[in-house]
Amino acid sequence: MSESGADLILSAVPRDQIASDFKKLHWTGTFRDYLERVLEDPRIARNAYQRVYDMVLSHGTEQHVERKERVTRYRFFADPFNGGRDAIFGIEPALMKLVSHLKSAACGYGSEKRILLLHGPVGSAKSTVARLLKRGLEEYTKTPEGALYTHQWQLPGREDWEDCPMHEEPLKLLPDASRPGVLEQLGERLDAGYDLRLEGDLCPFCRVNLVELLARYDGDWHQVVENHIRIRRLVLSEKERVGIGTFQPKDEKNQDATELTGDINYRKIAEYGSDSDPRAFNFDGEFNIANRGLIEFIEVLKLDVAFLYDLLGASQEHSIKPKKFPQTDIDEVIVAHTNEPEYRRLQANELMEAFRDRTVKIDVPYNVELDDEVRIYRRDFGPEKVRSKHVAPHTIETAAMWAVLTRLSEPKQAGLTLVQKLKLYNGKMLPGFTEDAVKELRRESEREGMEGISPRYVQDKISNALVSAESGTCINPFLVMNELEAVLLHHSLITSEDLRRHYRGLLSLVKEEYEDVVKNEVQRAISADEEAISRLCANYIDNVKAYTQKEKIRNPYTGRIEEPDERLMRSIEDKIEIPESRKDVFRSEIMNAIGALAVEGRSFDFRENERLQRALELKLFEDQKDSIKLTSLVSSVIDRETQEKIDVVKSRLVKNYGYCEACAANVLGFVASIFARGDARERG
């Protein structure tokens, strides 16, 4: 009898592997067993900041030098947990500052007493950073390197084991006098760049248990630990509210400080006789359950002032004040985020000075580099995601270009346009601008990236274009740009008509750039005859050689000895704007390159010289444009010979540039209309 489909699915589930993993993650043992594990790997006893810092570094780093500055890229922020779904692009300076804060806090330099405040415009990845830290911590605690443990109690007369409600470090069970010696032993075995620290006392629940059991055994701590303490592996989980907390402000009438620090369990008061007995208290506030891990405060500055007081003590003193209990020690990373208007309100409020003094603000801006912005949209609208329709070439790039332009400030340098500034930021070198000049551009524009259009807005409009009836089988840049422009009137964050006009003007700049790009592609598709370009290049090189060596050249058609063909050479050089005064320099550079290759035994290939290749392609395009009659595309009648040539160009656009049949025809028609307008202007 053959296996059913269900059997096949069930057989694919690795029974032994799941059982093995379960046993590792649910290990239990004695306090002595735990001490042996800690001595073998002292990292087990790290505090929350040290664990989060090591977690980020565990995924590795990449070192880059960009514009003479060393940039560290942390692979952790590429979201290795979900295949890059939450990957963060292009804000390396902010991420480097964040990791520096974690490192300082891990070393105990004072940063651990601060709230990590992520500040930036809406949609700038603040929540994504926090989400990655939480998810990363969950996954890290499942690994041998990120293992951590907590303790359980078995109280007299009970068979079940009861967890420490705040999942505390088992070494806190050690008497205060014994801790320094233990830390000294562990420090000798640890090579991590920081020292282990065991700070704070047990939580009220564990403290009352320990006191009562010590009284039962006449102060014999060893008896208590051997008979009533069990250690278990702890895996942090946001869903199970273990070691990771999230707090989001609600309506003021529904907010209660007990959401942060826990509340009385009225059902247990009768059992323990008092509402001040910690065993009759639920230590399930967000601060309590986030102990040993991380707590995230969403839109923290919308919190009521009473909640902010709890935050101040939690950050500076590493303690919280549950109702009817003394200060309770906590060990957790506090991450909060807020947007620009809320932060400006904080700055204007003198009563919030204490909160400002206890925060480390990290600006999380929008991208100002085009390639990184494109990567954001390709993640959602790449070919592997969008299969029902074809996304025409440059559709995502034009949308990304407009988004980045809205975030840039007008350049102060005379003659530098906003589009040129965008290209400089994206790594393209322009005449007269060195890497130092680009760094200076960035320094004088400190607010760049903190204002402008959010990636979410652009993503929504691309989505609208994809489902639009007008898009047919594919969407193109104009459909997306029309979507972007159509709803600018209703954008909730654009309150000024001047700003609206500015954004529309930027769309016009993007359209001009797109026209240049597609004209270039169509020109290359028309002049993509490799043999014709090679013949033209050989002719040009022969004439340049004769010119530079002051020789004559034989005309291949007449056989006569003639002067080098200056008209041919200049017709090619003009295509890349080589002025008359620079022609000798350019020609000498070409001959020097040919000579250097000859010494190495290699022949010259025009494809290795980008400027010369472009000049040859443009020259060939000019020579062939009239024979193809591209402008006839805008007329109603096309002869058979012209149609065959146009079909060849379309096939090149499909093969070499990623167009489909429909958008190749559309882009040819668009470029044809551009040339038709140009011809009309020339006739006029």
- Per DSSP (E only), the strands in 67-218 are 69-74, 115-119, 148-153, 162-163
655: Cβ–Cβ under 8 A, 6 or more apart, which residues?
none
Determine, yes or no, domain membership for 619. Answer: yes
DSSP-derived pairing of the beta strands 244-247 and 263-264: unpaired
544/488 same-domain check? no
494/604 same-domain check? no
482/411 same-domain check? yes
Tokens of 532: 């014709």
Domains in the chain, number:
2
Query: Which residue, 574, 600, 625, sits at the end of a domain?
Result: 625
What's the confidence (pLDDT) of residue 18? 74
426: Cβ–Cβ under 8 A, 6 or more apart, which residues?
369, 370, 371
Q: Containing H/E element for 392?
A: none
389/477 same-domain check? yes
Q: Containing H/E element for 429?
A: none
Burial of 48 (0-12, 13-18, 19+ CB in 10 A): buried
What's the confidence (pLDDT) of residue 682? 44
547/485 same-domain check? no
* Rounded Cα gap, residues 565 and 540, in angstroms: 9
Alpha-carbon distances, residue 574 vs 434, 530, 566, 605, 614 (angstroms) = 26, 21, 12, 21, 11
Q: Nearest-5° angle of CA 217, CA 219, CA 221?
A: 85
* Rounded Cα gap, residues 205 and 152, in angstroms: 11
Query: Which residue, 610, 625, 640, sits at the end of a domain?
Result: 625
531/469 same-domain check? no
Amino acid at site 351 = L
Query: Which residue, 459, 482, 499, sits at the end of a domain?
Result: 499
* Rounded Cα gap, residues 483 and 460, in angstroms: 9
Is-contact 119 343, C-beta < 8 A? yes
Which residues of the chain register pLDDT less than 70?
A: 1-4, 66-68, 251-255, 351, 469, 471, 528-529, 556-559, 624-639, 641-642, 676-684
Determine, yes or no, domain membership for 405. Answer: yes
Is-contact 269 280, C-beta < 8 A? yes
pTM of the entire structure?
A: 0.83
458/541 same-domain check? no
Instruction: Please report where in the chains the tokens 């705040």 appear, as a residue.
Output: 166
407/480 same-domain check? yes
Determine, yes or no, domain membership for 110. Answer: no
Closest CA to 133 of 361, 365, 333: 333
What's the confidence (pLDDT) of residue 631? 52
Instruction: Report the interhelical angle of 204-216 vs 221-228 (nearest 10°).
Output: 110
Q: Which domain holds residue 586?
A: 527-625
479/560 same-domain check? no
Determine, yes or no, domain membership for 19. Answer: no
376/495 same-domain check? yes
* Rounded Cα gap, residues 659 and 665, in angstroms: 9
Determine, yes or no, domain membership for 621. Answer: yes
479/563 same-domain check? no
Closest CA to 170 of 203, 194, 204, 211: 203
Instruction: Report the interhelical angle of 530-548 vs 610-628 (nearest 10°).
Output: 120
* Rounded Cα gap, residues 137 and 55, in angstroms: 7
For residue 256, the 8-state DSSP code is -
Q: Containing H/E element for 266?
A: helix 266-272
466/582 same-domain check? no
